[in-house]
Chains A and B, each alone.
Chain A
Amino acid sequence: MEYFIELLFSGLTRGSIYALIALGYTMVYGIIGLINFAHGEMYMIGAFTGLIVAEILLIYQFPLPAVFVLTALAAVIWSSAYGFTVERIAYRPLRKAPRLAPLISAIGMSIFLQNYVQLVQTADFLPFPSLIPEFAFLEPYAGIIGSTDAAILVVSLIAMLLLSVMVKWTRIGKAMRATAQDQKMALLVGVNVDRIISFTFILGSGLAAIGGVLIASHVGQINVFIGFIAGIKAFTAAVLGGIGSIPGAVLGSYVLGLTESLTTGYVSSDYEDVFAFALLVLILIFRPSGLLGKASVDKV
């Protein structure tokens, strides 16, 4: 039983990280129907920004909680700026183009950003300081759930909660939902669609950046390619949950994270990806639009 709980927490930690990234995929898809392949790079850029800021703050001996908050904030702002710019440069000019064009543009952006960071930083692995202190009250349970695991869970739950409150109850959230439903109609009733789309990219990139800082602090290392695998997994989670649906992305991420950790625990980590993707295939066979996705009705 204890073993199961250990695996459960391991899966939830993974799931939380996937969720933070998957939300960006799903929101962008929900609003403009584009799979933003450069989204994993926002996670990577967030981690790199976090590293630079954290190193500077640690030199000036800021207290650890302050370093963590400021690092996360800086990473969110920086990644959001990248997200905003990428949308402006690579997607907005192609909004009326056939669907394949922005997709290719997204892949191009991903390759560009990876190589850009590699040139200005390094291709090597860099150590990332541990920003989350060892909580004394968790010490008896350290074998089951570490301080960083707990921090990842709590921070991502708060972030997701804030996001759903925002989407549900605020003006801009309402405008986002309106844009997702029907861009032209939203425009007609006075929603500034361009601004909403920019806002969505900013929001998604910011969430991914939080994920980047959290996981980098958890595993203690980063390099320019971390966005690729995390991005692919998060994208899988978004599809699993039903791409376009915010609760779906969260659910899909936890399902994926738990599948991976339970497979590792009870079968073998060699088969971790096999089981994860087999599950994806199965779910898509029986529910083609994902766990919580709505089948889109094409209006003729």
Chain B
Amino acid sequence: MRTTVFSFILASFILIFLQSPTYAENTIKIGVTGAHQGDLASYGLPSLKATQLVVKDINSQGGINGVPIELLAEDDGCKPEVATNVATKLVAAGVKAVIGHVCSGPTKATLPIYRDANVVVISPAATTPNLSQDGTYQNFFRTIAADDAQARLQTDFTLQTLKAKKIAILHDKGDYGKGLAEYARTFIEQSKDAKVVLFEGVTPGAVDYSAVIQKIKRSNADAVLFGGYHPEASKIVGQMRQKRLTIPFVSDDGVKDATFLKVAGKDAEGVYATGPADVSNNPIAIMYRDKFRAAEGAEPGSFFDNAVAAALALTQAMIKAGTADADALIKALRTQKVATPFGDITFDDRGEPVGIGFFIYQVQNGRFVLVQ
């Protein structure tokens, strides 16, 4: 009896052993990670489904130059300590690329493992700025704008298009507004083309901002950057115009809001604000959303479009490179343009998406008009 059980176990071990190498040669393995169960599953599952939909399409069209893609889904629970195990497991299984991780913490924790194994990582959702920006991880890409992308765009626009030399930065002391304002200050100081002449927080809800306006005037700033939401923005712009201060006012997507137009009225004219692109009319976005609805009977959730973009970018790069080797793949990702739910995108040297993210809008005749 004992020998039977033993030989059975042994046989099954040998079976596993025999099966995996033979199977591996016929497929290209891609890992998909993120939280697939538990509290944060709503962040991870849409990415998994999106990747599955894209891979199904690619495989039905003949895969990567005739070789089908095999997806390996792993749950990291959005926990860095679980994610490192997941990464090791995926690397051991021989994946060539990973769509993930979804949360910033796990992404940061696993990047060294993937780099050492020459695995390309495309995150659809990790927004922490310092994942790739120093160039340590050449294998990292993402299809979502980093947290500082808005501030970077605002700064570039203010310095290059508006040609401002002295900039006043205001914020509302909140996490969102102050965070943006601090990034903007750092970028302006790094650029050395302009000076931050004023950096102040205003109290939201105060009855009057005229003292701060006088201070802006005294600083001789030629542009105001504001980080915060529309109630303060409309008050500040209104009072600037009352005090005959007509310098450009540049703000963020907390201000790119219909209420701002309504409340600020004619004072809103000429105000610049950054905001995301509208993807609801993109044919690829519509196609994959419809597929998701047909398969799941529900609306796709967070980061679905971003994950579709990640999967499309990765598979197209593999097709173009003709191989799944990391170096060729990285080169293809950085050079080719690929059609995604966000339009045609590519990646820069830091792995940041070019074409996904924020755009500059200006209020013209009571509407936000895309200017850059």
Interface positions of A (Cβ within 8 A of B): 3, 6-7, 9-11, 13-14, 17-18, 124-127, 142-143, 146, 148-149, 215, 218-221, 223, 225-226, 228-230, 233, 260-262, 264-265, 268-270, 272-273
The interface residues of chain A lying within 8 Å CB-to-CB of B263 are 125-127, 220-221
For the complex of A and B, the 5 pairs showing the least CB-CB separation, nearest first, are A264-B211, A261-B211, A10-B210, A229-B205, A6-B214
Which B residues from 160 to 178 make CB contacts under 8 A with A? 173
Check B239–A219 contact: CB distance below 8 A.
Answer: yes
Which residues between 215 and 237 of chain B lie within 8 Å of chain A, taking CB atoms? Answer: 215, 217-218, 230-231, 234-235
- A7 x B235 contact (CB < 8 A): no
Residue pair A219, B235 in contact (C-beta under 8 Å): yes
Measured between beta carbons, the chain A residues less than 8 angstroms from B212 are 264, 269
CA distance in complex: A221, B207 (Å): 10
Q: Which residues of B contact A215 (CB under 8 A)?
A: 207-208
Q: With the chains together, A13 CA to B230 CA distance in Å?
A: 23
Contact with A along B197-216 (1 / 0, CB 8 A): 00011110111101110110
A124 to B214, CA, bound (A): 29
Which chain A residue shows the least CB distance to B205? A229
Q: Is B192's CB within 8 Å of the partner chain A?
A: no
Are B203 and A272 touching (Cβ within 8 A)?
A: yes
Chain B residues near A262: list those with CB within 8 A: 211
Contact B211 A11 (CB under 8 A): yes
Chain B facing A: main interface SS: helix
Would you call B208 and A10 a contact (CB within 8 A)? yes
Across the interface, name the chain A residue whose C-beta is closest to B215. A265
Given contact pairs A3-B218, A218-B207, A233-B207, a sample of 12 additional A-B residue pairs in the complex whose CB atoms are under 8 Å apart:
A125-B230, A126-B263, A143-B243, A218-B208, A219-B207, A220-B265, A221-B231, A221-B235, A226-B205, A269-B215, A272-B206, A273-B203
B293 in the interface (beta carbon within 8 A): no
| Partner-A contacts on B (CB < 8 A) | 173, 200-203, 205-208, 210-212, 214-215, 217-218, 230-231, 234-235, 238-239, 242-245, 259, 262-265, 267
Find chain B residues with CB under 8 A from A270 CB: 173, 200-201
Q: Is the CB of B205 within 8 A of A225?
A: yes
Is A220 touching B235 in the complex (CB atoms < 8 A)?
Answer: yes
Which A residues are in CB contact (< 8 Å) with B203? 229, 269, 272-273
- Nearest residue (CB) in B for A128 is B263
Check A124–B242 contact: CB distance below 8 A: no
Chain B nearest Cβ from A264, distance in angstroms: 4
Q: Are B200 and A143 in contact (CB under 8 A)?
A: no
Residues of A within 8 A of B217 (CB): 6, 143
Q: Please give me the residue from chain A that is nearest to B213 by CB atom.
A: A10
Q: Which of B206, B211, B230, B239 touches A229 (beta carbons < 8 Å)?
A: B206
Q: Are A220 and B238 in contact (CB under 8 A)?
A: yes
Contact B262 A264 (CB under 8 A): no
Taking a contact as CB atoms under 8 Å apart, the answer to whether A146 and B242 are in contact is yes
Give the residue name and chain of the B residue nearest to A148 (CB). Answer: B242
Separation of A219 and B262 alpha carbons in the complex (Å): 14
Interface pair A265/B214, CB less than 8 Å apart: yes
Whose C-beta in chain A lies nearest to the C-beta of B173? A270
Q: Which residue of A lies closest to B236 (CB)?
A: A219
